[in-house]
Structure 1
Amino acid sequence: MKKWTKGLFLLMSLFLIQSCVKDIQDIENIEVENWQPNVALALVNTTVSIHDLLDNFDTGGYLNVDDDNFMTLVYQGNVFSAQGKEVFSMPDFSIPMIDTSMVLPYGAINTPFDIDFFSVKNGQLDYSFESPYTEDMNVIIEVQNLTKGGQILHFPMTVNYAGTSPMMVSGSIDLKGYIMDFANDEIAVKYIATNAAGDRKYLANMQLNFNSFEYNYAQGYFSQYQFDLPSDSLFISLFENAVAGNLHIQDPKMNLIIKNSFGLPIELTSENLEVATMSDGMMNIHTVLDNGVSFNFPSVMEAGQFKTTVIEINASNSNLSDVISSNPQQLNYKLNAMTNPLNDPNIKGFVMDTSRFDVDVELEIPVWLSASNFAVEEINEFDASFLDDVESAKFKLITENGMPVEAGVQVYFLDANNVVLDSLFSGGNQNLIPAAQVDSDGKVTASGMGNETVEINEARLQNFRNATQISIKGLVSTTDTGSVAVKFYTDYEMSFKLGVEAKLKQ
């Protein structure tokens, strides 16, 4: 893939003259019959390919060149999802120990998620109780749901009598590295309090508070979660100078490339998918995303891996072709994603704290098109000081066009207030550059030849000297006035010879 630079490739032929004249050199003279000049210069004598223009024009996208040298413009954007830890979080919960052993249903935890188990990355169990006895006590706290290395949480402690009763006791147990298992849909906890003689005792006001959970991996049913995906835009500068005309792009595509490491079903929909166009204003793109598309996800055995899904939007499943042919300026998109679109609690999955999905948006515009009177305009600053000593001039342009476009051109000279002072040609746009001929596949078979002469007298030169800007306007059509679709290849070339005969002031 190669970086594509500025502008509309259809106007390469127009802007090439402008860019080349900026670097006027006294190179090989052009033979022009019957000229008797005071000064004759060859301004340009060069052959350029599309590759030669890549450093002078910028579309903001990329140029993909296949093995046959056929070109496709690619515009890219990205949407990033939230991470797994934002989809699911284990809430804090407390268990008042009104007996030495308690079994609570899973529903006692205030969560919409039906979690089978999760590995504890961070978390703690805070305990507090009162010992009403005037003797030392041995206390063990056990949580059947928490295991590490196959062993349940078994936390022993000694409460030393300090001469006051009741003894107030509190502390924390670090749960990092444990597995919290809810496979039986219950929470089972107990404590054992004994004195030195081994007699079992009751403790007063015992409270167990499970809090500050973070997880590495969680498995179960995660209900429905709506991702808050940001809206974004792609600026399509390919058509930024277009002002009118007919253009039809063959086989445009939009690809959504999704890489997902969430281990559960997720459905992608479009809340907004629209294009600001030059020809038809704002246009909505209607696609399969209107009804939602689910994408691939890894199995439990593939935890930590990404699965890729490519959703192709093309002319057969959308109105993309009509939208792209309306001279798009900007693509605006807002996508939505929801876990478990069927809301089926029997569909279990997993989430890791590092789980995420990424969506790459690619707009592919093949350089395979037909154009008829496609109008473009570009305005640039103009320094006419080089005309100060010129009384009259005659320009001659000879072209050999190996590209399947013909260009009608007019150059207007403007003052600082954008008032037109003069034009380079009389009678409107001049068809300066004839198109190459193409075969039935839209590929060039023979170059188009052009030969034009323009004479400028002193009165018109004075108008040019008063100008501070030039407006280059072009009407571009593909071969046979846009009646056939043509393809562009990187080895297409165009040759220019531009000479000037100038009569200098005495």
Structure 2
Amino acid sequence: MKKYPLSYFILPLLLVGIIVSCKKETFEVDKLDLSEADPSFAIPLAKATINLGDLEKEFDEGELIYNDADELFRLVYRQNIFEFNAGELIELPSQNLNYAVSVPPSTVTAFSFAPAGTSVNFGETLSETFAFSNGEEVDSIRLSSGTLNIDAFTDMQHDVTLNISIPYLKQNGNSFNTTVDLSFQGSTPTQEMLNIDLSNYVMDLTKGGQTNNELEVVVDVTLTKTGQPYTGTESISFDLNLDLTGFESIFGYFGNFQNIVAQDTQDLPVFNNFISGDLHFADPQLNLYIRSSAGLPLGINFSGLYDGNSGSSQSLGGPGLTNIPTIPGASFLGDTADFFHSINNGNTTPSLSQLIDASPDNIVYELAAETNPDGFSQNFLSSDAMAWGDVEVILPIFGYAYNFSFQDTSDLDLGEALDLDPESNFDDKDVNRATIRIISDNGLPLALGAQIYFLDENDVVLDSLFANPSLDNLIPAGIVDVSLPVTDPNYGKVVESSRRITDVPLNNGQLQNLISGGTKKVVYRANLNTTNADQQQDVKFYPEYELTVSLSAKINLNVNLSN
């Protein structure tokens, strides 16, 4: 997105009669009939009526300066200041479950006296608690990746079969179930290892709605006698290693994560090329837009918001920064919650206007976020759940500018621009003197003082356009109605245009110096004052405001009529 400083909006507007942007007529001097020539004649150079709304559309393309019919112009700067993957808050714990199977005494007795080939069965139901790092109370997890490693062993000289099922670990609605074969192979111990992919399994840690963070494991054991001795002291054991490496979604209460910190800097191009003076915005706004696809509420506060200029101590506080309402979470997977909060003069200390009045090149934001700021709530996250935060600085052009100075530089070959070519029959030596007349009818609440410097290719100043370097009122400001209450929509609007006629003389020596000296650049320096800015009177800018500038030149030629 292209960004234009405010000076690019105002400069063409107020220097339209000076910047060479009008059509030039080509005169064939060799064909002039000089028999009755007057060595002094006037040339209309340009007349332009500039409408603020049209000018904004041409220069800004709707990207920075917002223009709505019958509404104030406003500068809008929007920037993303933070984003974080909320899904990364949850760390799935790896569980190592170690079980020693106890053979019931009655089974020991029966199995001891049973003949070879006899089988007996018994079972156990085990429960394992998951320990999450932030005190999360998890109800269920849909796994995207993970493995279950089973390592079973026994020192029995008989065949052992373990049927391991996890009722609340399901894939496609079917509970997890596997069999481990520990058949006697002539020596002990007997060991079997299995590795099982848990991708796309759903793990219910509530045991069917009874609790949370618990996983139930059911073990069914079958012993088949081989005819080898049995003492009843033999052991059967197995390890379950749950390595949960990723989830698609997770549900439960995820606790209070704190100190989720973000910092960013936002540029304010309005103060680009700013030299000096006061630029006051009466009603600035700083809007916070937050979007979240995470199903958990967030609390956000500004731990710092200050002018980023080196050496400045201007910073803001107040309820607009520290008492931001809780940001709601998404309602369901795939949903995105939107949140808006406005920071303005009414909820900041000192006021937001005071921060902007310091003419900062940028604003620094420091934020601290936390989850579930109001306590327990049902949460959910997808692995790619995100929270994004944008800040939009809105500066309605309602305020005042006092001795607001800025400058810019453009390339300009003056001889080429004026069609004064030393190799032609008509050059700068044929001009005795010239007077440029500027007539302005200004319907803007803005007065202009200006100076233009002509530079050579080495940036050496050759001359200036105006003899008076402190020209204060090239174009006077329009007349503003301040008789109404400040709250009235028409307060600060222009009710009458102001007219000014300004003549700028240039003698032959100046022209020759500028052209033969090799003018290659011009520096535009402008000084702006809104109507009654010295009284800190706020004015408004509307799209319908217009400025009309007429530009003409009176040229006195060195003409030899005798030839």
TM-score normalised according to structure 1 size: 0.85
1:444 maps onto 2:468 in alignment: no
Q: Matched residues, percent identical? A: 27
Q: Which residue of 1 aligns with 2:454?
A: 413
1:308 maps onto 2:304 in alignment: no
Are the structure 2 counterparts of residues 51 and 13 from structure 1 closer, same or farther at C-alpha, using a change threshold of 3 Å?
same
Q: Which residue of 2 aligns with 1:501?
A: 554
Are the structure 2 counterparts of residues 203 and 216 from structure 1 closer, same or farther at C-alpha, using a change threshold of 3 Å?
farther
* Letter of the structure 2 residue corresponding to residue 400 of structure 1: D
Q: Which residue of 1 aligns with 2:413?
A: 383
Q: Which residue of 1 aligns with 2:468?
A: 427
In structure 2, how many angstroms separate the alpha carbons of the residues matched to 1:497 and 1:376? 24
1:489 maps onto 2:542 in alignment: yes
In structure 1, how many angstroms separate the alpha carbons of the residues matched to 2:323 and 2:83? 17
Are the structure 2 counterparts of residues 316 and 37 from structure 1 closer, same or farther at C-alpha, using a change threshold of 3 Å?
farther
In structure 2, how many angstroms separate the alpha carbons of the residues matched to 1:227 and 1:99? 45
1:115 maps onto 2:138 in alignment: yes
1:7 maps onto 2:6 in alignment: yes
Is the CA contact 2:286–2:394 (under 8 Å) kept in the aligned structure 1? yes
Q: Which residue of 1 aligns with 2:107?
A: none
Q: Which residue of 2 aligns with 1:223?
A: 255
Q: Which residue of 2 aligns with 1:32?
A: none
Is the CA contact 2:407–2:526 (under 8 Å) kept in the aligned structure 1? yes
Q: 1:474 aligns with which of 526, 531, 554?
A: 526
Deviation at 1:365, TM superposition (A): 0.4
Q: 2:437 aligns with which of 380, 383, 396?
A: 396
Q: 2:366 aligns with which of 321, 334, 356?
A: 334
Q: 1:192 aligns with which of 203, 214, 220?
A: 220
Is the CA contact 1:5–1:60 (under 8 Å) kept in the aligned structure 2? no
Q: 1:360 aligns with which of 364, 369, 390?
A: 390
In structure 2, how many angstroms separate the alpha carbons of the residues matched to 1:307 and 1:226? 21
* Letter of the structure 1 residue corresponding to residue 360 of structure 2: P
* Structure 1 SS opposite 2:92: coil
Q: Which residue of 1 aligns with 2:514?
A: 464
Q: Which residue of 1 aligns with 2:315?
A: 284
In structure 1, how many angstroms separate the alpha carbons of the residues matched to 2:254 and 2:91? 10
Is the CA contact 1:261–1:297 (under 8 Å) kept in the aligned structure 2? no
> Which stretch of the first structure deviates more once superposed, 231-240 or 49-58?
49-58
Deviation at 1:134, TM superposition (A): 5.8
Q: Which residue of 2 aligns with 1:106?
A: 129
* Structure 1 SS opposite 2:6: coil
* Letter of the structure 1 residue corresponding to residue 411 of structure 2: E
* Letter of the structure 1 residue corresponding to residue 240 of structure 2: L
1:74 maps onto 2:76 in alignment: yes
> Which stretch of the first structure deviates more once superposed, 262-271 or 121-130?
262-271
Are the structure 2 counterparts of residues 223 and 163 from structure 1 closer, same or farther at C-alpha, using a change threshold of 3 Å?
same
Are the structure 2 counterparts of residues 37 and 180 from structure 1 closer, same or farther at C-alpha, using a change threshold of 3 Å?
farther
In structure 1, how many angstroms separate the alpha carbons of the residues matched to 2:62 and 2:5? 7
Q: Deviations over 1:372-404 (max 9, x none)?
A: 222222233332224562232111111121212
Q: Which residue of 1 aligns with 2:302?
A: 270
Deviation at 1:348, TM superposition (A): 4.4
In structure 2, how many angstroms separate the alpha carbons of the residues matched to 1:365 and 1:129? 70
* Letter of the structure 2 residue corresponding to residue 496 of structure 1: V
In structure 2, how many angstroms separate the alpha carbons of the residues matched to 1:227 and 1:17? 57
> Which stretch of the first structure deviates more once superposed, 451-460 or 437-446?
437-446
Deviation at 1:242, TM superposition (A): 2.0
Are the structure 2 counterparts of residues 44 and 143 from structure 1 closer, same or farther at C-alpha, using a change threshold of 3 Å?
same
* Structure 2 SS opposite 1:81: strand
Is the CA contact 2:83–2:386 (under 8 Å) kept in the aligned structure 1? yes
Are the structure 2 counterparts of residues 86 and 366 from structure 1 closer, same or farther at C-alpha, using a change threshold of 3 Å?
same
Deviation at 1:247, TM superposition (A): 2.3
Q: 1:65 aligns with which of 64, 67, 70?
A: 67
Q: 1:177 aligns with which of 201, 211, 226?
A: 201
Deviation at 1:191, TM superposition (A): 2.2
Q: What are the equivalent positions in structure 2 for 1:229-248 lying under 5 Å apart?
A: 230-248=262-280
Are the structure 2 counterparts of residues 438 and 111 from structure 1 closer, same or farther at C-alpha, using a change threshold of 3 Å?
closer
Q: CA RMSD in A?
A: 3.5
Higher normalized strand content (fraction of residues): 1
Q: Which residue of 1 aligns with 2:116?
A: none
Are the structure 2 counterparts of residues 211 and 364 from structure 1 closer, same or farther at C-alpha, using a change threshold of 3 Å?
same
In structure 1, how many angstroms separate the alpha carbons of the residues matched to 2:226 and 2:184? 16
Are the structure 2 counterparts of residues 337 and 403 from structure 1 closer, same or farther at C-alpha, using a change threshold of 3 Å?
same
Is the CA contact 1:257–1:359 (under 8 Å) kept in the aligned structure 2? yes
Deviation at 1:93, TM superposition (A): 1.1
Deviation at 1:486, TM superposition (A): 1.7
Q: Deviations over 1:244-292 (max 9, x none)?
A: 22222121000001112323232212244222469x9453233436535
> Which stretch of the first structure deviates more once superposed, 329-338 or 346-355?
346-355
* Letter of the structure 1 residue corresponding to residue 17 of structure 2: I
Are the structure 2 counterparts of residues 323 and 16 from structure 1 closer, same or farther at C-alpha, using a change threshold of 3 Å?
farther
In structure 1, how many angstroms separate the alpha carbons of the residues matched to 2:308 and 2:399? 20
Is the CA contact 2:4–2:269 (under 8 Å) kept in the aligned structure 1? no
Are the structure 2 counterparts of residues 159 and 16 from structure 1 closer, same or farther at C-alpha, using a change threshold of 3 Å?
farther
Q: Which residue of 1 aligns with 2:25?
A: 26
In structure 2, how many angstroms separate the alpha carbons of the residues matched to 1:457 and 1:198? 124
Deviation at 1:364, TM superposition (A): 0.2
Deviation at 1:479, TM superposition (A): 2.0
Q: Which residue of 1 aligns with 2:96?
A: 94
Deviation at 1:210, TM superposition (A): 0.5
Is the CA contact 1:261–1:307 (under 8 Å) kept in the aligned structure 2? yes
Q: Which residue of 1 aligns with 2:503?
A: 453
Are the structure 2 counterparts of residues 106 and 139 from structure 1 closer, same or farther at C-alpha, using a change threshold of 3 Å?
closer
Segments of structure 2 that go 5 or more residues without pairing to the other structure are: 27-36, 103-123, 483-490
Q: Deviations over 1:442-476 (max 9, x none)?
A: 22222211211111112222442324432222221
TM-score normalised according to structure 2 size: 0.77
In structure 1, how many angstroms separate the alpha carbons of the residues matched to 2:476 and 2:226? 106
Q: Which residue of 1 aligns with 2:356?
A: 324
Q: Which residue of 2 aligns with 1:350?
A: 380
In structure 2, how many angstroms separate the alpha carbons of the residues matched to 1:208 and 1:190? 12
In structure 1, how many angstroms separate the alpha carbons of the residues matched to 2:85 and 2:551? 60
